[in-house]
Amino acid sequence: MNTYQSIRDALSHALVRDDTAVIFGEDVAFGGVFRCTMGLAEEFGRERVFNTPLSEQGIVGFGIGIAAMGHTSIAEIQFADYIYPAFDQIVNEAAKFRYRSGGQYHVGGLTIRTPTMSVGHGGLYHSQSPEGFFMGAAGVKVVIPRSPIQAKGLLLASIRDPNPVIFMEPKILYRSAVEQVPIDDFELPIGRADVLIAGSDLTLLTWGTPLYHCETALHMLASPPPQVSRHVPESLRGAKVELIDLRTILPWDVETVVESVNRTGRLVIVHEAGLTAGAGAEIAATVQKKCFLKLDAPVKRITGWDTPVPLQYEKFYIPDAIRILDGIVETLIY
Amino acid sequence: MLRQGLAAVKSRACLPCRRWLASAASEKHGHLPSSQSPITSKLKFFKSVTEDGGQIPTYRVLDGVGKVIDGAEVPEIDQAFARKIYENMVLLPTLDTLLYNVQRQGKISFYMTAYGEEATIIGSAAALANDDEVLGQYREAGVLLWRGFGLDNIMAQCVGNEEDTSGKGRQMPVHFGSPKHHFLTISSPLATQIPQAAGVAYAISRSPRRGKNCAAVYFGEGAASEGDFHAGMLFASTIPSPTLFIARNNGFAISTPANEQYHGDGIAARGPGYGVWTVRVDGNDVLAVLGAVREARKRCIEEGRGVLVEAMTYRVGHHSTSDDSFAYRSRSEVEDKKRIDNPITRFRLFMESRGWWSSDEEEVLRARLKKDVLEAFKRAEGLPRNELKELFTDVYGGEEPWNIKEQREELAGLLKKYGDSWEPWKNELARFKRKGQDILQKTD
């Protein structure tokens, strides 16, 4: 399955197992602009899979109402770039629903799915990575998968988590990432990072699309192509870099990250969102506090620039493999 | 039978459009692709939802002295029910006066009265089923009183003591909530509850045992300017959801008069734009509110879509205890309203005309309510706050995230260091149940 198929598969499991579950958003009934809800309306009926008017604050407010009655509401925001009209409903309402009611009400049944990150030609409003804006919204969880298996397991866990979850799907992976996905109903843990490659010299932490750039950068580090080999000292080519997929942005897995950095002494964080006050800032500050005596180099952040995501300049905007390679080298030789 | 009734209503409502259709002589020119709109060769603008360009009329049953006006039908009501309505209407200002005054004395941090809106709030509460889900703005405590929430719960929330189940002392006063009474917890951001109500209504309409209920959502005319009002009306009409919208048009949003809030014919004029059945009612006439909301609720559930009621009233009190309304309106204007158009007096005169109420009973009632309210406050005031650890609970359901655990422990460490010596903390700790020991012990 590719990622959109695995998401569709997860949604189908969620609807089968839970009669209260409904899916709604802009254009979801015909299958969604990214095909994630293909055939679900036909299979489960328009009462459970339906279009809404074009209003993001309405979609999230409506979803909160459904969830407040103990039902499962799976809302879609067509692009993460358009989640801001619902910011008030998410931050002031969904996140605070349980706390402010003394635990009497909650909207744990709410999951907001939304495509995120750059896609090659998305420009300002089809490329954004707004996860950092939600990192301070205590009460919601923010989850970002990297692949079809991850998307299915994490989405099912998000839908069933007793808290509202913003589930951000890297849209470039909808068709490009393909792997064997178990067809049964399974969940992957929220709040746990995943160590993809074990290492002892540097911790490379990322999530979503840049994970693939990180993998490329690691190959380049081990055997640099001739054009860049002069920038990669021989002595570093055998470096063992630990690659971690954070998976959950809020609450993030401090234990795994800190344990790793305490072993490696070096941390490079990669994300597509801009640098200033991005999720990397929070992680860097915490690691600096918890690993101060073990750090051999400053925490490096390789991110989008502090500009909007520009159309014709995207190749120079995103933290691609060469920037990551350079960051790893700089951190290793510090 | 039901269907016939609705068809009749619909065909009546369509008379004006049929006339338009005829005069436009459009049939031979066809229709637009996305609309059944008839084609006309006459260039005609319009800005009123009434055919003659006038304002939407206001439904009234009782005049200012409690007499049934010509042609009005008194909604079905017996003496016991009328007395319950009246007692709750009188309870509201009794409660408001005490809590307003204790706020002035600094005993609670904040308060908002419902002066002048007693008929709108109690009349609509009485028209709902007690298990209809209610989403309020903040001036609707009367709905909870009507449903038997009780004065102790009201006081507990306003004082923020250990009995506050609405929010464990976390929210400002008047932010009540109770699942048992089907009243979702109030929050301060305006209008956010409106699209939520459509979702609540959608969920309950899908619940096998709840198909006979609606979600009633209250909001002021100021809140109706928020985008969330638009979203809520749109969703409840487009995605069939039995949502009863009750707009309290009391003339002011804090200092902003309604004529600076909108240029159209109030809130009611917007209903038809969303394809929503709409009525405007005299919000100071409890029988009119009762009758209109009963009918609105019936229609809402039968059709399974949104229905809008705009209740015209007047905010007699200040916006809140943080507001002095005489800075933007005259004292005499308010006094006139209180004297000429008092919803409680109007209903009392009606009750008396039926022989359902007397001045002796009035005296007894007022004395009893005053006593009940004072006793409930005294009791609430004497109780400690929740345990301090509740500062950190309920942020998430399930496993507590590491950061919250760490921060609770950080506060415990600071309390150990400074809890006895730093006056602002020392004084506050004394007001909590177990004086903060719960947090300290958890770390040990």
Tell me, which fold does domain A194-332 have in CATH?
Answer: Rossmann fold (3.40.50)
pLDDT per position as a tens digit, A98-155: 999 999 999 999 999 999 999 999 999 999 999 999 999 999 999 999 999 999 999 9
The dihedrals phi and psi of A166, each to the nearest 5 degrees, come to -95, 120
From residue B341, how far is each of B59, B90, B338 by CA, in Å? 15, 15, 6
For the sheet with B277-282, list strands across it.
B183-184, B133-135, B215-220, B243-249, B307-312, B277-282
Interface test with chain A among B137, B182, B185, by most A beta carbons within 10 Å? B185
pLDDT at B15 over 50: no
The dihedrals phi and psi of A76, each to the nearest 5 degrees, come to -120, 130
Interface of A with B in 296-325 (CB under 8 A): none
Shortest Cα distance, chain B CAs vs residue A83, angstroms: 15
Shortest Cα distance, chain A CAs vs residue B168, angstroms: 5
* Partners of residue B207 in chain A, C-beta under 8 Å: 69
Pair (B404, B338) in one structural domain: no
* Partners of residue B177 in chain A, C-beta under 8 Å: 101-102, 104-105
pLDDT at B21 over 80: no
Cα B370–Cα B162–Cα B419 angle in degrees, nearest 5: 125
Which whole number is the average pLDDT over B30-57? 89
From residue B240, how far is each of A11, A258, B80, B209, B308 by CA, in Å? 23, 50, 36, 18, 14
Of A86-100, A141-155, B35-49, the range with the lowest mean pLDDT is: B35-49
Of B47-51, B219-223, B228-232, B415-419, the range with the lowest mean pLDDT is: B47-51
Question: Is A103 in Cβ contact with B203 (below 8 Å)?
Answer: no
Give the integer Cα–Cα distance in Å for A271 and A274. Answer: 8
Using CB atoms, pick whichever of B135, B170, B192 lies closest to residue A89.
B192
CATH architecture of A3-173: 3-Layer(aba) Sandwich (3.40)
CB-based contact B276:B307 (threshold 8 Å): yes
* Partners of residue A41 in chain B, C-beta under 8 Å: none
Pair (B17, B92) in one structural domain: no
B28 contact partners, CB below 8 Å, separation of at least 6: none
Number of domains in chain B: 3
Is A160 strand, coil or helix? helix
Pair (B354, B402) in one structural domain: no
- Is B152 contained in some domain? yes
pLDDT per position as a tens digit, A191-217: 999 999 999 999 999 999 999 999 999
The residue among B355, B381, B407 that closes a domain is B381
List A13, A106, A126, A271, catalytic entry: A126
Closest Cα partner for A147 from A200, A99, A106, A188? A188
Using CB atoms, pick whichever of B164, B187, B196 lies closest to residue A65.
B196
Give the integer Cα–Cα distance in Å for B48 and B247. Answer: 19
From residue B216, how far is each of A73, B133, B139, B303 by CA, in Å? 20, 6, 14, 15
Give the distance, in angstroms, between the CA of residue B399 and the centroid of all CA atoms in the same chain: 35
From residue B433, how far is each of B108, B387, B395 by CA, in Å? 18, 5, 20
Task: For residue A234, indicate whether it is catalytic.
Answer: no
The residues spanned by each domain of chain A are 3-173, 194-332
> Nearest residue on chain A to B202, judged by CA atoms?
A66
The alpha-carbon radius of gyration of chain A (Å, integer) is 20
- Is B68 contained in some domain? no
pLDDT at B11 over 60: no
CB-based contact A260:A245 (threshold 8 Å): no
Closest Cα partner for A191 from A165, A226, A210, A169? A165
Phi-psi region of A123 (alpha: psi -120 to 50; beta: other; left: phi over 0): left
Structure confidence at residue B27 (pLDDT): 57
Question: Is B398 in Cβ contact with A99 (below 8 Å)?
Answer: no
pLDDT band at B420 (very low <50, low <70, confident <90, very high): very high
Higher pLDDT, B245 or B23: B245
- Is B55 contained in some domain? no
Question: Is A58 in Cβ contact with B231 (below 8 Å)?
Answer: yes
> Nearest residue on chain A to B172, judged by CA atoms?
A100
| CATH code of the domain covering residue B84 | 3.40.50.970
Structure confidence at residue B337 (pLDDT): 82
Give the distance, in angstroms, between the CA of residue B381 and the centroid of all CA atoms in the same chain: 26
In this structure, what token pair is assigned to residue B164?
A: 């506050």
pLDDT per position as a tens digit, A76-89: 999 999 999 999 99
* Partners of residue A93 in chain B, C-beta under 8 Å: 187, 189, 192, 196
| Interface predicted TM-score (ipTM) | 0.97
Whether A191 has its CB under 8 Å from any CB of chain B: the answer is yes
* Partners of residue A71 in chain B, C-beta under 8 Å: 203, 206
List A56, A76, A169, A272, catalytic entry: A56
Pair (B207, B313) in one structural domain: yes
Is A265 strand, coil or helix? coil
Q: In DSSP terms, which residues pair with B308 in a beta bridge? A: B245, B278
β pairing state of A141-143 and A248-250: antiparallel
Pair (B255, B199) in one structural domain: yes
- Is B202 contained in some domain? yes
Can you give the three-state secondary structure of chain B, one letter per residue?
CHHHHHHHHHHHHCHHHHHHHHHHCCHHHCCCCCCCCCCCCCCCCCCCCCCCCCCCCCECCECCCCCECCCCCCCCCCHHHHHHHHHHHHHHHHHHHHHHHHHHCCCCCCCCCCCCCHHHHHHHHHHCCCCCEEECCCCCHHHHHHCCCCHHHHHHHHHCCCCCCCCCCCCCCCCCCEHHHCEECCCCCCCCHHHHHHHHHHHHHHCHHHCCCCEEEEEECCHHHCHHHHHHHHHHHHCCCCEEEEEEECCEECCEEHHHCCCCCCCHHHHHHHCCEEEEEECCCHHHHHHHHHHHHHHHHHHCCCEEEEEECCCCCCCCCCCCHHHCCCHHHHHHHHHHCCHHHHHHHHHHHCCCCCHHHHHHHHHHHHHHHHHHHHHHHCCCECCHHHHCCCCCCCCCCHHHHHHHHHHHHHHHHHCCCCHHHHHHHCCEHHHHHHHHHHHC
- Is B73 contained in some domain? no
pLDDT at B18 over 60: no
Using CB atoms, pick whichever of B203, B230, B393 lies closest to residue A66.
B203
> For residue A260, what is the enclosing H or E element?
helix A254-264
Shortest Cα distance, chain B CAs vs residue A199, angstroms: 25
Pair (B157, B213) in one structural domain: yes
Phi-psi region of B245 (alpha: psi -120 to 50; beta: other; left: phi over 0): beta
Pair (B36, B98) in one structural domain: no
pLDDT per position as a tens digit, B260-289: 999 999 999 999 999 999 999 999 999 999
Give the integer Cα–Cα distance in Å for B215 and B196. Answer: 10
Shortest Cα distance, chain A CAs vs residue B399, angstroms: 10
Taking the CA atoms of residue A41, residue A46, residue A49 and residue A50 in that order, the dihedral angle to the nearest 10 degrees is 120
Of A60-64, A306-310, B9-13, the range with the lowest mean pLDDT is: B9-13
pLDDT per position as a tens digit, B160-188: 999 999 999 999 999 999 999 999 999 99
- Is B56 contained in some domain? no
- Is B51 contained in some domain? no
Interface test with chain B among A100, A140, A253, by most B beta carbons within 10 Å? A100
Pair (B144, B186) in one structural domain: yes
Question: Is A93 in Cβ contact with B195 (below 8 Å)?
Answer: no
- Is B52 contained in some domain? no
> For residue A292, what is the enclosing H or E element?
none
Closest Cα partner for A279 from A136, A145, A89, A87? A136
Domains A3-173 and A194-332 share a fold: yes
Question: Is A20 in Cβ contact with B167 (below 8 Å)?
Answer: no
Task: For residue A56, indicate whether it is catalytic.
Answer: yes
Interface test with chain B among A57, A77, A165, A283, by most B beta carbons within 10 Å? A57
Which whole number is the average pLDDT over B341-363? 96
Give the integer Cα–Cα distance in Å for A278 and A276. Answer: 5
First to last CA, chain A: 42
Question: Is A85 in Cβ contact with B200 (below 8 Å)?
Answer: no
pLDDT per position as a tens digit, A310-332: 999 999 999 999 999 999 999 99
pLDDT at B23 over 50: no
How many contacts does A have with B, using Cβ atoms within 8 A? 165
pLDDT at B4 over 50: no
In this structure, what token pair is assigned to residue A119?
A: 């896609």
Encoded amino acid at B339, one letter:
R
pLDDT, chain B, mean: 92
> For residue A244, what is the enclosing H or E element?
strand A241-245
Give the integer Cα–Cα distance in Å for B183 and B132. Answer: 9
Give the integer Cα–Cα distance in Å for B309 and B300. Answer: 11
Whether A254 has its CB under 8 Å from any CB of chain B: the answer is yes
* Partners of residue A108 in chain B, C-beta under 8 Å: 397
Closest Cα partner for B213 from B197, B194, B232, B235? B197
Pair (B375, B393) in one structural domain: no
State which residues form the domain around B416. Answer: 388-443
Closest Cα partner for A248 from A289, A223, A272, A279? A279
Question: Is A106 in Cβ contact with B398 (below 8 Å)?
Answer: no
Interface of A with B in 104-133 (CB under 8 A): 104-106, 108
pLDDT per position as a tens digit, A235-247: 999 999 999 999 9
Using CB atoms, pick whichever of B166, B171, B398 lies closest to residue A162.
B398
Pair (B226, B347) in one structural domain: yes
Give the integer Cα–Cα distance in Å for A284 and A286. Answer: 5
Question: Is B239 in Cβ contact with A62 (below 8 Å)?
Answer: yes
Instruction: For CA atoms A200, A202, A203, A207, give the dihedral sign.
Output: negative
Give the integer Cα–Cα distance in Å for B407 and B425. Answer: 17
Pair (B86, B219) in one structural domain: yes
Whether A57 has its CB under 8 Å from any CB of chain B: the answer is yes
